[in-house]
Amino acid sequence: MRTAPTILHLDMDAFYASAEQAAKPSLRGKAVVVGGLGPRGVVATASYEARKLGVHSAMPMGQARRLAPNAAYLVPRFGLYREISEQVMALLRELSPLVEPLSLDEAFVDLEAGGVADDQASALAVGERLRADIKTVTGLAGSVGLAASKMLAKIASEEAKPDGLRLIVPGTERELLAPMSVRTLPGVGPATGDHLRRGGITTVGEIAEAGEDELVRLLGKSHGSALYAMAQARDERPVVAERESKSVSVEDTYDVDIHDRVRVRGEVARLADRCVERLRAAGHSGRTIVLKVRRFDFSTLTRSETLRGPTDDPGVVREAAARLLESVDTTGGVRLLGVGVTGLADYTQEDLFAQARADGLERGEGEAAGAVTEVEGAAEVEEASVEEVPLGARRWAAGHDVRHAVYGCGWVQGSGLGRVTVRFETPGSVPGRVRTFRVDDPELVEAEPLPLVAPPEGGAGQCPSG
């Protein structure tokens, strides 16, 4: 392992929610939850204000609403997030040719390979400069971890949150790791954590004390040996630059077999959303949706469906995965589920599969009540079923950008009963006023997101139509 802390891990703080707060002045300092607003929606990101109320990512949206009823609930704007991510990744590539993105808001960087750092002092200087540059370019905060390995750099960035920098001095790693929970180590999820706990092991130090033979006995050769090495602070994994992928997939193994068919459907929908997030982070779309099911008897089934063209629409992937599930018998129980996308293309053919918008994560349709209720001066929007919106009327997703011919740029707070409520403000403005319109008002149109930081020419004042 290295003798200098020249591996950097960057993790943007509450990325989606922070971007929405930066874009919407009236939401700054308030609880914001971004995710799917439909009946099966889950939280993608919660602001730190919402986290204090108990809301966290991957939580069912219904549970989040019970914990934080006055939070702002918004659907994601992946176009904006991708644009910000590209700005951040460009800053990272100025530091080194070895940049390993993990998602839209997270990446490893090998500073040594870039020749910008070879000791503790130079690594710290690079980390502080990077944080300042990210704030200048995007207006957002990112936390930086520096260490001699990828595992420790990621742990350091987690300890640095929010908006901080943490460097782990080489030689102090084992002492630092010893009191930490076993869940701190990569590859230790709920199932492995419970297995270790039943064996009397709850901290990283106890893993080291147990010895490799005991870990192998508990977890098997590969997993046990790898975990023991990590507990000794040994991690030789290199930072791997981006390389072309042939597929993108996610899967989960369950400690207890799932028998409830409704829960199986919900898990497949959640995995489809996670898969699309990874797909978009890689800048790809795909044509073939793959479902993987490992049943109670360890038999593994795969089903696939090839679409008419490439997509990165979460609703489309979710619908295809649901159709594939209908052909699989899960009566005896399910121990693993996975959703993947293959046949990757450079990017998506926009609106090719608009039929899947009904419960789409990105557009948030299927729940008309996307109202923000805590913002000062906000008009509360009554909940309404889809049928209460006039036939043929446009759908307005909570959080998305709009432009009005008279009032200018704003964003949708909520809609229902044939009305849409809009707050008129932009990233650089003061908190704006709220106005309500008919959903079919011809002067109200969808718009593209505005930059969070105005370019020198003042382009942020523009509000281009979508």
CATH (domain of 8): 3.30.70.270
Is 341 a domain residue?
Answer: yes
- Residues 151, 11 share a domain: yes
pLDDT per position as a tens digit, 391-441: 344 678 899 999 999 999 999 999 888 999 999 999 999 999 999 999 999
- Residues 154, 26 share a domain: yes
pLDDT at 23 over 80: yes
Is 254 a domain residue?
Answer: yes
Higher pLDDT: 439 or 355? It is 439
pTM of the model: 0.70
- Residues 300, 191 share a domain: no
- Residues 166, 179 share a domain: no
pLDDT per position as a tens digit, 162-217: 999 999 999 999 999 999 999 998 878 787 888 899 989 999 999 999 999 999 99
Which H or E run includes 329?
none
- Residues 83, 16 share a domain: yes
Kindly report the CATH number assigned to the domain that includes residue 191: 1.10.150.20
pLDDT grade for 244, boundaries at 50, 70 and 90? low
- Residues 152, 26 share a domain: yes
Domain count, the chain: 4
- Residues 181, 165 share a domain: no
- Give the integer Cα–Cα distance in Å for 176 and 184: 12
Of 321, 341, 359, the domain-final residue: 359
Tell me the longest C-alpha to C-alpha distance in the chain: 72
Please report the DSSP string for 152-188 in residue order.
Answer: HHHHHHHHH-SS-EEE--TT-HHHHHTTSBGGGSTT-
Is 410 a domain residue?
Answer: yes
pLDDT at 47 over 90: yes
Q: Domain range for residue 311?
A: 247-359
Q: What is the dihedral of CA 124, 107, 34, 419, to 10 degrees?
A: 110
- Residues 9, 128 share a domain: yes
pLDDT per position as a tens digit, 246-274: 788 898 888 788 999 999 999 999 999 99
Is 238 a domain residue?
Answer: no
- Give the integer Cα–Cα distance in Å for 53 and 74: 17
Residues serving a catalytic function are 106
> What pLDDT shows up at residue 359?
37
